Amino acid sequence: MKCQDLLKQLNEYVDGTLDPSVCEEFEKHMAGCNPCQVVVDNIRKTIMLYKAGEPYELPAAFREKLHAALRQKWKETHTPE
């Protein structure tokens, strides 16, 4: 396996869905290739950082507007004629 081949299998490797025989080759290549080891580690950390991201708060004015619009819509659709 060459570095370029490793790149192509990168998703499956970090997601743990790589075929075991390919995985073995992948790890054999990494054991002898420090840059590929670091790239894989960088990718894992990149994904972890985004996964750890906190949700955004709604701007207060928008939140009020949203709830008012929903109450209005609720009245329109739930009031008997």
Partner 1 sequence: MSDDRAALTDDGVLVRQARAGDMAAFEELVRRHERAVFSLARRMLQNEQDAEDVTQQTFLSALEHLRNFREEASFYTWLRRIATHAALKIIRKRRGLDTISLDAATAPDENDHIPHPEYIADWRATPESLARRNETRRLIEEALGELDDKHRVVFVLRDVEGLSVRETADVLGLSEANVKVRLLRARLQLRERLTRLFGDPDRRVAREEHAH
Binding site for partner 1 (CB under 8 A): 2-4, 7-8, 10-11, 33-36, 38-39, 41-43, 45-59, 62-63, 65-67, 69-71, 73-74, 77-78
Smallest separation (angstroms) from partner 1 to the CB of 10: 6
- H or E element: which one contains 64? helix 60-78
Q: CA-CA distance, 3 to 36, in Å (whole number)?
A: 7
Q: Which is nearer to partner 1, 23 or 39 (CB)?
A: 39
Q: Smallest gap, in angstroms, from Cβ of residue 12 to partner 1?
A: 8
Residue 35, both tokens: 């840059």
- Picking from 27, 33, 1, the residue whose alpha carbon sits closest to that of residue 13 is 27
Is 36 within 8 Å of 30 (Cβ atoms)?
yes
